[in-house]
Chain A
Amino acid sequence: MTIKILMPALSPTMTDGKLAKWFKAEGDQVAAGDILAEIETDKATMEMEAVDDGVLGKIVIAEGTEGVAINSLVAVMLEEGEDVSAADAAASTAPAPQATPPEEAAPAAQPAPQAALVEKGERIFASPLAKRMAADAGIDVAVISGSGPHGRIVKNDIEAAMAGGAQAAPATAQAPSGVPSLPAIIPSMGSYTEIPNSSARKIIAERLTASSRDIPSYMVTVDCEIDRLLEMRKDLNDRSPEGEDAYKISVNDFIIRAIALAMRKVPGVNTSWTEAAIQQYDDIDVSVAVATEDGLITPIIRSADQKGLAKISIEMKDLALRARDNKLMPEEFQGGGFTVSNLGMYGAKEFTSIINPPQSCILSVGAGEQRAVVKDGALSIATVMTCTLASDHRTVDGALSAQFLQVFKTMVEDPLTMLL
């Protein structure tokens, strides 16, 4: 009896994934629990384990295939005594509902990255000469509007684009699908190296472009004095026990807790816009932006309002570490009601972020630095940290943002209140 191995669903929202790597070859003996393959979803890489003993009879989906739908047949296992013909038979009779044929999606078969519109299957009409000139000049034909018959892109259009530099194409060129495609005209940039877009990179591009395009966002900025917070941090860290329970609380851990407590007081920021209604979340889950080699990922401190600083700190360290190794479980980064992004460690004074949909708010935290401040008519020195909140105006009005920041600031400036 052959065993069909299907593409697993690694999270409730997963519809497809990339079969990143096979660890076993056809004909290899497999024991239950052995790692068969590595599956890459939008944000994580997961291992697929064998559930039975046997021989890997046939690999149906080749390594490197993207967009493999869940429950489609990826391989066939043979039990003792069965030969490969059984695997072939199983592979050919098995319904492979939405599997993308490997030869179509295998990266090696794609000579050059195609424009987004092309990937979506919409043909771009351009003359061979125009295509070649565009390729030579590093111009994406998808963003050029054609002046030839029926909008065909011809030599003149490429010459105009080259002469006009980064001239945005009229809307007609982008209208058909609503796929975000920004003018990517790079006139004669010389030689370059092509860095293939990882799944994560594609997701970042797609989601943040949609966010930037669809969300009416605005910024509210507040300065927080953190001298007392720094003092308290030192005090607390000095009290850290040795061994397993050791902690080293960072400024960011304070900020996560302050955000969580402020979210409890101002629940209007813990929301999502939908056409039907604004969803206000019961749980206070804070997403924390972590930079990885593959791109940004936002692991979540769940119920952060119910966790103490030490717990937040230990959890955060673990999440960040695994995020950088691409080992987060989907539920560890999917969801969240509010995001914080901290570039203070790089010395960034202040900055803004793009809202992480479907959330409403993202807080950008700058570096704490000594600045001259005026208090009661006298000049003094304080360590000041600038925080900028970007909010979705559909759900969060300006006053609400300001109110949230006021609560947040009060706690950061007077950290003892975080204990309440």
Chain B
Amino acid sequence: MADKSYDIIVIGGGPGGYVTAIRAAQLGMKTAVVEREHLGGICLNWGCIPTKALLRSAEIYRNAKHADNYGLNINGIEFDLKKIVERSRSISKQLSSGVGYLLKKNKVDVIDGHGKLAAKSKLTVEKDGKKVVDLTAKHIILATGARARSLPGLEPDGKLIWTYKEAMVPDAMPRSLLVVGSGAIGIEFASFYHTLGVDVTVVEVLPRVLPVEDEEISEHAHKAFEKDGLKIMTSSTVTALDKGSDNATATIEQNGQQNKETTELTVDRVIMAVGIVGNVEELGLESTKVEVDHTHVVINEWCETGEKGVYAIGDLTGPPWLAHKASHEGIICVEKIAGEKGVHPLNTLKIPGCTYCHPQVASVGLTEAAAKDKGYEVKIGRFPFIGNGKAIALGEPEGLVKTVFDAKTGEMLGAHMIGAEVTELIQGYAVGMTLETTEAELMETVFPHPTLSEMMHEAVLDAYGRTIHF
């Protein structure tokens, strides 16, 4: 391949990179994506999508087991792990090739290899240690994403100690599992394995599970998980892992109210889900003015780094580590480069987050505590699933919808939900918040009956003392 020059080159073909490239191409810029592994990145191949496929299998299994609650007789329910994993992999493959098609359709060149900044506006692509091609571009966008963080002494080995990658393609079911970290990734795997009958223990260093969520939601989730049989240890740290031939013994220190308690737990497998680190290495950043802070590239509101012509988006630039944040940042970045009018910086307070455990958790905006910390006088609304006809008809009477309003202006500051299908509901509030609706418009909105969404209406009414059904 001869030397080629582009308007825009995106390093990394994940949900940030490929969306950025398509938008750049739409804006008439000659664009290329450099991807070293799979188009679609972690999200499509090793993250969001394949885990949703696994969790869907678990959900159907769970519902089948409770079939008698619905008046159905299903006997001899079993699962085939191999098929569950195969299904998950084939879905990833299908979507990854879909991304390839989209890029081709938009005339974006895809270059296979590892991209590295060489000099100003220059990029070298290597494959298996050998140079493939030199490229030049007016604008280079780094979208290399992130990977699992490892803790000293607890480094994943791929056999006994897994990261999300091994956890997604088990060849056999472990009997027992220790999940370190109760963020979205840890809790989803805990939920999946627990549903399929594994004895799962979750260890969280902070005092509550799902620590980025509203405290009330964390509490609700904790109770729901424990009721379901998940074991949860909060304020706890795994201080040592003693690996045997086919199991590992973890030393867990729990910080009680008075004293520390140390327990030992022997499990077949351990999943490390203690956060992620940015993929900042081997990008040739050393010879540039690109600033890196704690494995994340520092950017301004238009995704510009310290080096002119070099931009960064997505997980590489820090939290929230979400595919939709990466995509949106990429679009802002290229629209700004193209000189589009009306481009607005990303408002991270309006990015919804979803966790697909059982029960599901979804939220957008400020938690009640964060709103109070910011000095807002708040109005809080709550509505429980038990008050919703559709939830009861579905056999999902457990959950909560919580709203946080600025008492002064009626601005919706945040919404927090736990329960069936809330990951599909949260977007209603996100649209409202982005349009800057107040409680008045939300109250005026007609919500269809019977739906779970009626709880969103009631939770708004409740914040103003007007709830009807509870």
Contacts and interface: CB of A to CB of B under 8 A. Distances in A.
A132 B437 CA distance: 10
B441 A128 contact: yes
Contacts of B410: 129, 132
A130 interface: yes
Contacts of B437: 127-129
A127 B409 CA distance: 12
Contact of B409 (A136, A148, A149, A154): A136
Contact of B436 (A136, A147, A154): A154
B342 A127 contact: no
A155 interface: yes
A112 to B, nearest CB: 15
Contacts of A154: 436
B441 A133 contact: no
Interface residues of B, number: 11
User: Which of A129, A132, A133 gathers most chain B CB within 10 Å?
Assistant: A129
A128 B438 contact: yes
B102 interface: no
User: Which of A127, A128, A136, A147 gathers most chain B CB within 10 Å?
Assistant: A128
B27 interface: no
A150 interface: yes
B74 interface: no
B42 to A, nearest CB: 31
B399 to A, nearest CB: 28
Contacts of B440: 128, 132
B468 interface: no
B265 to A, nearest CB: 50
A155 B441 CA distance: 16
Interface string A140-178: 000000011110001100000000000000000000000
A111 to B, nearest CB: 14
User: Which of B342, B437, B440 gathers most chain A CB within 10 Å?
Assistant: B342
Contacts of A133: 409
Contacts of A132: 409-410, 438, 440
B435 interface: yes
A150 B436 contact: no
Nearest to A136: B409
Nearest to B406: A129
Q: How large, as a class, is the contact surface on chain A? A: 10 to 19
A130 B436 contact: yes
Interface in B426-445: 435-438, 440-441
A159 to B, nearest CB: 10
Interface string B394-438: 000000000000000111000000000000000000000001111
B342 A129 contact: no
A305 B440 CA distance: 65
A149 B437 CA distance: 15
Given A127-B435, A129-B436, A155 B342 contact: no
Contacts of B342: 149-150
Interface string B428-470: 0000000111101100000000000000000000000000000
Interface string A111-140: 000000000000000011110110010000
B345 to A, nearest CB: 11
Nearest to B408: A136
A129 B410 CA distance: 7
A76 B114 CA distance: 87
Contacts of B436: 127-130, 154-155
A403 to B, nearest CB: 55
Contacts of B435: 127-128
A137 to B, nearest CB: 10
Nearest to A126: B436
B335 to A, nearest CB: 12
A148 to B, nearest CB: 8
A132 B406 CA distance: 12
Contacts of A130: 436
Contacts of B344: 147-149
A136 B441 CA distance: 17
A128 B406 CA distance: 14
B253 to A, nearest CB: 46
Nearest to A153: B436
A133 B411 CA distance: 10
A129 B438 CA distance: 6
A229 B436 CA distance: 68
A155 to B, nearest CB: 6
Nearest to B432: A128
A155 B411 CA distance: 9
A127 B435 CA distance: 6
A130 B410 CA distance: 11
A368 B197 CA distance: 104
A417 to B, nearest CB: 68
A132 B409 CA distance: 7
**A-B CB proximity, top 9 nearest:** A127-B436, A129-B436, A128-B438, A128-B441, A129-B411, A128-B437, A129-B438, A133-B409, A155-B436
9 contacts: A127-B436, A127-B437, A128-B435, A128-B441, A129-B409, A129-B411, A136-B409, A147-B344, A155-B436
Given A129-B438, A132-B409, A147-B344, 9 more contacts: A127-B436, A127-B437, A128-B438, A129-B409, A132-B438, A132-B440, A133-B409, A148-B344, A150-B342
